[in-house]
């Protein structure tokens, strides 16, 4: 009786094995007469599987020569058009509803699934192959000459689709795993200086000024700024004095990027600087639950990811900052990819806090170590942050 395969190799066709030869993993194949053939160096798993399947169909099935192609009935299962809605629902229940991903990430996943439906809806999941992966990348990345980061992001998406197809029993192998990724492109942006921050701040619209000032004091970026609400401010009945500063309450911020980390929820003390920013945000007399808000023109539509007409998208903040930056011509000598964005206010803030002797790690919601710990039910405590403020 042949030895049972290891679980990780159970999807291999009959005759296909892996072995380590001179420190390198190679594929080998045992033919019907027992002869072992070592496949060429560099053979990827999907190609080895396809070759083994083709050989077995021809040589290991005694009936294949007795049947015509019209007589062979193969159960291919369901097409991707059947599985795509099921996968979307599973991702919603397993990841979105359990706070493993945030709504904007789920929406992006839905859009990628829409593209997959348009391109490959008629493909059987059991026949979804490396060729289909390549055609998806060609149409939605390479054809438009998009960045390496986008290329890698789409491979990650397809890996996830295959993972769920395998879990559903609709596919046996994750062909997206065979794609080589580009690796994240090195950031070329230069840092934002305090002088240029002030130059841009002076020319910004009032609502953007609020976003820039609050970002500098809190160390948080456009996503957290767009989500910050007045109700996130917990005001003390009587202000207290701490470390030489008056504290009026705390501002609760949840950083979405590290939502599975213990560092994702912080309570930032509302010092006079932050209180002044919050007070200034109310001076426009716009009724809004959001600290960063504005009235959009009649053409502006409320997106699905927004819950109030005055709420700003993260992109609204970033793009408005970029528009002011470029209008001032202070970075015209640089390519656009090199010019500092709104996100660089976060880096400037962290640098400034370090200079006054404040460790910004907790304030910035930076986790001290990478964690894959699942987000536990009922874990909703906020981490208190050291009292500090920046004078600029």
Q: Does residue 87 sit in the same domain as residue 130?
A: yes
pLDDT (tens digit per residue) in 248-289: 999 998 876 544 555 578 889 999 999 999 999 999 999 999
pLDDT (tens digit per residue) in 352-376: 988 988 887 766 554 443 322 322 2
What number is the average pLDDT over the span 101-110? Answer: 87
Residue 17 lies in a domain: yes
pLDDT (tens digit per residue) in 201-242: 999 999 999 999 999 999 998 989 999 999 999 999 999 998
Q: Does residue 98 sit in the same domain as residue 133?
A: yes
Residue 23 lies in a domain: yes
pLDDT (tens digit per residue) in 127-164: 899 999 999 999 999 888 888 888 999 999 999 999 99
Which of these three, 178, 213, 241, is where a domain ends?
Answer: 178
Confidence bin at 247 (pLDDT 50/70/90): very high
Output the pTM of the full model: 0.58
Residue 75 lies in a domain: no
Q: How far apart are CA 218 and CA 38, in angstroms?
A: 60
Q: Are 263 and 367 in contact (CB under 8 A)?
A: yes
Q: Is 251 left (phi over 0), alpha (psi -120 to 50) or beta?
A: beta
Q: Does residue 150 sit in the same domain as residue 204?
A: no
Can you give the pLDDT at residue 301?
A: 53
Residue 188 lies in a domain: no
Can you give the pLDDT at residue 198?
A: 97
100, with CB counted inside 10 A (0-12, 13-18, 19+), is middle
Q: Does residue 205 sit in the same domain as residue 166?
A: no
Length of the chain: 392
pLDDT (tens digit per residue) in 299-314: 445 555 678 999 999 9
What number is the average pLDDT over the span 50-55? Answer: 81
Tell me: pLDDT of 69 over 50. no
To the nearest whole number, what is the mean pLDDT of the chain? 83
Q: How far apart are CA 350 and CA 4, in angstroms?
A: 56
What are the backbone angles phi and psi of residue 8, rounded to the nearest 5°? -70, -15
Q: Does residue 31 sit in the same domain as residue 55?
A: yes
Q: Are 170 and 78 in contact (CB under 8 A)?
A: yes
Residue 69 lies in a domain: no
Q: Does residue 223 sit in the same domain as residue 358?
A: yes
Domain count, the chain: 3
What number is the average pLDDT over the span 177-195? Answer: 81
Q: Does residue 319 sit in the same domain as residue 374?
A: yes
Q: Which domain holds residue 20?
A: 7-59
């Amino acid at each position: 009786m042949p030895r049972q395969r290891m679980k990780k190799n159970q999807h291999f066709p009959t005759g296909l094995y892996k072995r380590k030869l001179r420190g390198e993993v190679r594929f080998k194949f045992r033919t019907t007469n027992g002869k072992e053939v070592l496949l060429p160096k560099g053979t990827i798993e999907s190609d080895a599987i396809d070759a083994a399947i083709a050989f077995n169909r021809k040589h290991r099935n005694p009936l294949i020569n007795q049947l015509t192609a019209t007589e062979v009935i193969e159960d291919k299962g369901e097409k991707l058009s059947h599985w795509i809605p099921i996968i979307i629902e599973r991702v919603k229940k397993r990841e979105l509803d359990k706070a493993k991903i945030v709504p904007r990430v789920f929406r992006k996943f839905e859009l990628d699934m829409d593209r997959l439906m348009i391109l490959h809806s008629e493909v059987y999941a059991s026949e979804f192959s490396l060729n289909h992966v390549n055609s998806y990348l060609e149409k939605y990345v390479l054809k438009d000459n998009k960045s390496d980061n986008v290329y890698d992001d789409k491979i990650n998406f397809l890996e996830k689709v295959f993972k769920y197809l395998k879990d559903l029993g609709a596919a046996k192998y994750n062909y997206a795993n065979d794609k080589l990724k580009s690796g994240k492109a090195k950031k070329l942006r230069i840092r934002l200086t305090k002088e240029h921050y002030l130059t841009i701040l002076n020319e910004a619209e009032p609502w953007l000024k609020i976003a820039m000032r609050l970002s500098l004091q809190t160390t948080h970026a456009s996503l957290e700024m767009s989500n910050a609400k007045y109700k996130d401010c917990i005001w003390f009945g009587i202000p207290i004095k701490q470390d030489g500063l008056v504290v009026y309450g705390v501002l609760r911020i949840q950083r979405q990027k590290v939502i599975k980390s213990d560092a994702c929820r912080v309570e930032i003390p509302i010092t006079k600087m932050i209180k002044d920013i919050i007070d200034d945000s109310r001076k426009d007399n716009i009724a809004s639950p959001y600290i960063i808000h504005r009235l959009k023109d009649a053409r502006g539509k409320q997106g699905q990811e927004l819950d109030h007409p005055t709420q700003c998208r993260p992109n609204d903040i970033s793009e408005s900052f970029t528009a002011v930056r470029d209008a001032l011509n202070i970075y015209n000598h640089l390519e656009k990819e090199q010019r500092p964005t709104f996100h660089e206010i976060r880096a400037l803030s962290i640098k400034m806090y370090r200079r006054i002797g404040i460790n910004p790690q907790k304030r910035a919601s930076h986790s001290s170590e990478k964690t894959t710990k699942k987000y536990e039910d009922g874990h909703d405590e906020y981490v208190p942050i050291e009292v500090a403020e920046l004078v600029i």
